[in-house]
Amino acid sequence: MSAGRILVVDDDPQLRRTMRAALTIKNYEVSDARSGEEALDRLRSEPYDLVLLDIKMPVMTGMETCKAIRANSEIAVIMLTVSNSEKDKVDALDFGADDYITKPFSTPELLARIRAALRRLPVPPGARLQRISLGNVEVDFAAHCLTAGGRTARMTPKELDLLAYLAAHPNTTISHRELLQAVWGPDYGQELEYLRVFINRLRKKLEPDPANPRFLITDAWAGYRFCLPK
């Protein structure tokens, strides 16, 4: 039984072969692409669950490719980068990635990142929120989208799970660690940049004025709070 379909995008043929071999052993179905353009063609013609996307590629960079993917798809994206700088990592998340991994990486680390990216928020049947309304904003969790002022914005699974977890605990400060482990998994807890980026992404879609949020509130040094009007 397939563990999922993965598209590996990297201009290094040796790395593509290595990742294909490592992932195939773990029952993933793997295809590869040498460029961003080829990746977009494959995504238009075949269904995938996750994209492993190198940042440094000629012609169309990984960042540009990720942005193009996000314009039409909610697929999980993990960026591959040789840089360990926080700016590059935050940039990857800003462009729509769900996670990133720094080269060189071990196979166990890669597999753990893939599991985290494909992981969905564990919610008992019937307990997940279906829909919430906030003035002229309506979030449809089942359809993975929100509507604000008549305009519809798509939400990625990680954005959806983060908002769902916060909305399930309204008017309560949830710690950074709890949010990271609930949404990304038990191996996470210190990656505060993930929350900063994803909260900002949600605010741009949800808040009338993202610079002065009414619903997604930062409680300094403590965590985040979803303010649900009573």
pLDDT tens, position by position, 24-39: 999 999 999 999 999 9
Comparing CA positions, the residue from 24, 32, 71 lying closest to residue 53 is 32
Query: Tokens representing 143?
Result: 């359809």
Q: What pLDDT sits at residue 148?
A: 83
More confident call, 44 vs 130? 44
What stretch(es) of the chain map to CATH 1.10.10.10? 131-226
pLDDT of 111 strictly over 60: yes
Q: Distance (Å, rounded) from C-alpha 181 to C-alpha 59?
A: 37
Higher pLDDT, 67 or 135: 67
Would you state the pLDDT for residue 131?
81
Q: Which CATH class is domain 131-226?
A: mainly alpha
- Strands 223-226 vs 216-219: parallel, antiparallel or unpaired: antiparallel
Mean pLDDT (the chain) is: 90
Whole-number pLDDT of residue 54? 95
pLDDT digits (tens, 9 = 90+) for 121-176: 765 444 566 788 888 888 888 788 888 877 888 888 899 899 999 988 999 999 99
Per-residue pLDDT at 125: 45
**Domain(s) of CATH 3.40.50.2300: residues in the chain:** 4-118
Task: Give this prediction's pTM.
Answer: 0.88
Distance CA 184, CA 199 (A): 14
Summarised one tens digit per residue, pLDDT across range 75-104 is: 999 999 887 778 888 888 999 999 999 988
Q: What's the CATH number of domain 4-118, 3.90.1150.200, 3.40.50.2300, 3.40.50.10190, 3.40.630.30? A: 3.40.50.2300
